[in-house]
Amino acid sequence: MLSQTVIAQLRQAVADDGVLTSPTDLIAYSFDGTFEQSLPDAVVLPRDTEEVAAVVRVAAQHRVPIVPRGMASGLAGGAIPTAGGIVLALTRMNRILELDRENMTVTVEAGVVTADLQKEVEKVGLFYPPDPSSIKQSTIGGNIACNAGGPRCLKYGVTGDYVLGLTVVLADGQVLKTGNKAIKNVTGLNLTQLFVGSEGVLGIITEATLRLIARPSFANTALAHFPTLEDAARAINAILAQGLVPATLELLDETAIECIEEAMHLGLPRDVEALLLIEADGNDAQAVGREIDTIAEIGRDSGAVRVEVARTEEERNKLWKARRSVSPSLARRAPNKLGEDITVPRSAIPEAIRRIREISRRHGLPIVIFGHAGDGNLHPNILFDRRERAQWEKVELMAKEIFQVALELGGTLSGEHGIGILKLPYMREALGPLSLEVQWRIKEALDPHHILNPGKVLPGK
Ligand SMILES: Cc1cc2nc3c(=O)[nH]c(=O)nc-3n(C[C@H](O)[C@H](O)[C@H](O)COP(=O)(O)OP(=O)(O)OC[C@H]3O[C@@H](n4cnc5c(N)ncnc54)[C@H](O)[C@@H]3O)c2cc1C
């Protein structure tokens, strides 16, 4: 509970309609994309960096927790105010400040919705590649704070690869500027990348300068059907070993195929263990066509029983429909899903999937696996009914076992969703004591009173 003094100071820090304290508003800001929930004491909606800094100064003075929030699509519980305090929602800070066509950069406020940014830059023939599936429901600030990825990241890299500079409000309310439009910059420690993926525990990102590239004009897509996971893995390695880097190399396992067919009746095969959706893109139509043909050939040589190649935009959309339908299709199977985000070395993908299937069989709950196979980033989704207490208990155990598989195979807990609160219990095993100690030292140097998103990312000492 915040005192009237703190509320009054917050109302001074931002415009009067920027402080919400009614029970309904607090409930609306108590969730993210997970099952977790915790009420804040106040929600503050700043309009610019100066207002963010003023709010942080109030929080620092009274040692009140402050939790930055974009669109709350996070899948790790990072934006949930587990210690109460202030939720600082950046959604009113959604301006595109400067689109510099000559230098191919864009400077934006942190609350810009990623899809809006992409639309704006594409109007002038430029391209911002990172494409999380939540592109319409997430902000650039949230993407930077989680270092979001997506299907295109195999070829183009993740969010962090496009961040040139940031404006960050520190825990004492000072405003730090890092980087600028210069592409090469090794002046001092790389503070820009320190804040990338920091999930709100080191500072509040208020503005970002992002690198853009020229928009590729052509794309060709193929869908390859593999009788076994090993065949699919062999194809992935063979494609990359030939020096081909498709924009997308997405995998759907047989349970994912089953769920999509049940919901959408797209005519997907029911007798294969894996589908790979592969897309090549570029600015030379013939070269892109040749690339997809070579990829299709490699797929067949690696054991694909069928490779569909889209030659028109309509055919391309049809192939993509399978991948885009995964998440909505799962809802027909079970009311709830827990989506994980492990990564493993690419060669370990078949082993990882087989072990995850064994976990599913042993506990009697379905696990659907899809993901960015070219990056070794798998999304095992456990399907269940949360109203059944016994099922929920199993889910927690299954998630733990999935993380164990990732670590045993030389992988890690998260490829793009981050740690938040959900993966905290596994951090010690994933990183070891020294890495955690170094991370705590950084946290304490920047936020000595632990007011910034407390209880996230770093397990207690
Ligand atoms: C259907 C669905 C599909 C998804 N697909 C993908 C995907 O393909 N790839 C992927 O990477 N993720 C995906 N996600 C997860 C999620 O969308 C991403 O993590 C996204 O980057 C979160 O953005 P947000 O604005 O919603 O952030 P929030 O959920 O509001 O916050 C996420 C974290 O970032 C911190 N944060 C937010 N804004 C700031 C800021 N300005 N400064 C400092 N810290 C901040 C928060 O404190 C929190 O820790 C998906 C989620 C859903 C629901």
Distance 146 CA to ligand 1 centre (A): 6
Q: Following CA atoms 278, 281, 285, 288 in sequence, which dihedral angle do they give, to the nearest 10 degrees?
A: -50
pLDDT at site 107: 98
Please, which pLDDT band fits residue 277 given cuts at 50, 70 and 90?
A: very high
pLDDT at site 461: 72
DSSP string, 353-420: HHHHHHHHHHHT--EEEEEEGGGTEEEEEEEE-TTSHHHHHHHHHHHHHHHHHHHHTT-BSBSSS--T
My answer on whether 142 and 191 are in the same domain is yes
My answer on whether 359 and 389 are in the same domain is yes
Distance 139 CA to ligand 1 centre (A): 7
Distance 95 CA to ligand 1 centre (A): 19
Q: Please write the tens of the pLDDT for every residue from 316-363.
A: 998 999 888 898 898 888 999 999 999 999 989 999 999 999 999 999
Between the CA of residue 120 and those of 113, 128, 131, 157, 310, what are the distances in Å? 11, 10, 15, 20, 28
Report if residue 458 sits inside a domain.
Answer: no
Pick the atom of ligand 1 nearest to 205's CA.
Answer: 42
My answer on whether 210 and 295 are in the same domain is no
- Buried-state track 428-459, b at ≥16 Cβ within 10 A, e below 16: eebbeeeebeebeeebeebbeebbbbbbbbbe
Q: Can you tell me the distance from the alpha carbon of 168 to that of 177, in angstroms, rounded to the nearest whole number?
A: 6
Nearest alpha-carbon partner for 44 in 75, 76, 77, 6: 6
pLDDT at site 331: 86
My answer on whether 134 and 66 are in the same domain is no
Kindly state the average pLDDT of the residues 48-68: 98
pLDDT at site 342: 97
Ligand 1 pocket test target in 34, 73, 192, 248 with most atoms within 8 Å of CB: 73
pLDDT at site 332: 87
Q: Can you tell me the distance from the alpha carbon of 410 to that of 447, in angstroms, rounded to the nearest whole number?
A: 32
In percent, the amount of the chain with pLDDT more than 90 equals 94
Pick the atom of ligand 1 nearest to 199's CA.
Answer: 49
Token output for 259: 């769920």
Q: Can you tell me the distance from the alpha carbon of 25 to that of 422, in angstroms, rounded to the nearest whole number?
A: 24
For the cut 90, the answer to whether the pLDDT of residue 397 exceeds it is: yes
pLDDT at site 200: 98
Pick the atom of ligand 1 nearest to 206's CA.
Answer: 41
Q: What CATH number does residue 358 fall under?
A: 3.30.70.2740
My answer on whether 109 and 134 are in the same domain is yes
My answer on whether 205 and 113 are in the same domain is yes
Ligand 1 pocket test target in 38, 69, 128 with most atoms within 8 Å of CB: 69
My answer on whether 177 and 252 are in the same domain is no
pLDDT at site 328: 85
Q: Can you tell me the distance from the alpha carbon of 447 to that of 202, in angstroms, rounded to the nearest whole number?
A: 7
Report if residue 427 sits inside a domain.
Answer: no
Distance 237 CA to ligand 1 centre (A): 30
Residue nearest to atom 49 of ligand 1 (CA): 78
Q: Can you tell me the distance from the alpha carbon of 51 to that of 257, in angstroms, rounded to the nearest whole number?
A: 48
Residue nearest to atom 8 of ligand 1 (CA): 132
Domain final position from 400, 418, 436: 418
Residue nearest to atom 46 of ligand 1 (CA): 79
Ligand 1 pocket test target in 29, 114, 143, 146 with most atoms within 8 Å of CB: 146
Helix, strand and coil in the chain, % to nearest 5: 40, 25, 35
Please, which pLDDT band fits residue 274 given cuts at 50, 70 and 90?
A: very high
In sequence order, which residues have a C-beta less than 8 Å from that of residue 383 and are 6 or more positions away? 330, 333, 334, 336, 337, 365, 366, 367, 368
Q: Can you tell me the distance from the alpha carbon of 423 to that of 403, in angstroms, rounded to the nearest whole number?
A: 9
Q: Are 121 and 212 in contact (CB under 8 A)?
A: yes
The Cβ-side half-sphere exposure at 22, using a 13 Å CA radius, reads: 5
Nearest alpha-carbon partner for 32 in 68, 85, 86: 68
Pick the atom of ligand 1 nearest to 69's CA.
Answer: 30
Q: Which helix (H) or strand (E) is 96 found in, with range?
A: strand 96-100
Q: Please write the tens of the pLDDT for every residue from 361-383.
A: 999 999 999 999 999 999 999 99
Domain final position from 214, 239, 272: 214
My answer on whether 184 and 110 are in the same domain is yes
My answer on whether 320 and 224 are in the same domain is yes
My answer on whether 339 and 404 are in the same domain is yes
Pick the atom of ligand 1 nearest to 90's CA.
Answer: 41
Distance 227 CA to ligand 1 centre (A): 35
My answer on whether 202 and 235 are in the same domain is no
Q: What CATH number does residue 252 fall under?
A: 3.30.70.2190
Q: Can you tell me the distance from the alpha carbon of 437 to that of 353, in angstroms, rounded to the nearest whole number?
A: 33
Q: How many domains does the chain have?
A: 4
pLDDT at site 280: 96
Q: Can you tell me the distance from the alpha carbon of 285 to that of 438, in angstroms, rounded to the nearest whole number?
A: 49
Distance 72 CA to ligand 1 centre (A): 6
DSSP-derived pairing of the beta strands 213-214 and 336-339: unpaired
For the cut 80, the answer to whether the pLDDT of residue 458 exceeds it is: yes
pLDDT at site 302: 96
Ligand 1 pocket test target in 75, 153, 154, 251 with most atoms within 8 Å of CB: 75
The residue type found at 180 is N
What is the DSSP-derived secondary structure letter of residue 76? Answer: S
Domain final position from 188, 214, 240: 214
Q: Please write the tens of the pLDDT for every residue from 400-434.
A: 999 999 999 999 999 999 999 999 999 999 999 99
Pick the atom of ligand 1 nearest to 420's CA.
Answer: 49
How does the average pLDDT of the chain come out, rounded?
Answer: 96
Kindly state the average pLDDT of the residues 149-166: 96
The Cβ-side half-sphere exposure at 331, using a 13 Å CA radius, reads: 4
Q: Please write the tens of the pLDDT for every residue from 184-206.
A: 999 999 999 999 999 999 999 99
Distance 34 CA to ligand 1 centre (A): 11
Q: What CATH number does residue 43 fall under?
A: 3.30.43.10
Q: Can you tell me the distance from the alpha carbon of 412 to that of 404, in angstroms, rounded to the nearest whole number?
A: 9
Distance 296 CA to ligand 1 centre (A): 34
My answer on whether 347 and 385 are in the same domain is yes
Please, which pLDDT band fits residue 261 given cuts at 50, 70 and 90?
A: very high
Nearest alpha-carbon partner for 381 in 409, 412, 359: 359
- The β-bridge partners of 88 are 44, 68
Q: Which residues line ligand 1 (CB under 6 A)?
A: 32-33, 67-75, 78-79, 90, 110, 132-134, 138-139, 141-143, 145-146, 148-150, 199-200, 204-205, 327, 416-417, 420, 453, 456
Kindly state the average pLDDT of the residues 109-128: 97
Residue nearest to atom 3 of ligand 1 (CA): 134
Nearest alpha-carbon partner for 360 in 412, 331, 399: 399
pLDDT at site 312: 87
Range of the domain at 135: 96-214
Minimum mean pLDDT among 15-19, 72-76, 182-186: which range?
Answer: 15-19
Kindly state the average pLDDT of the residues 10-29: 95
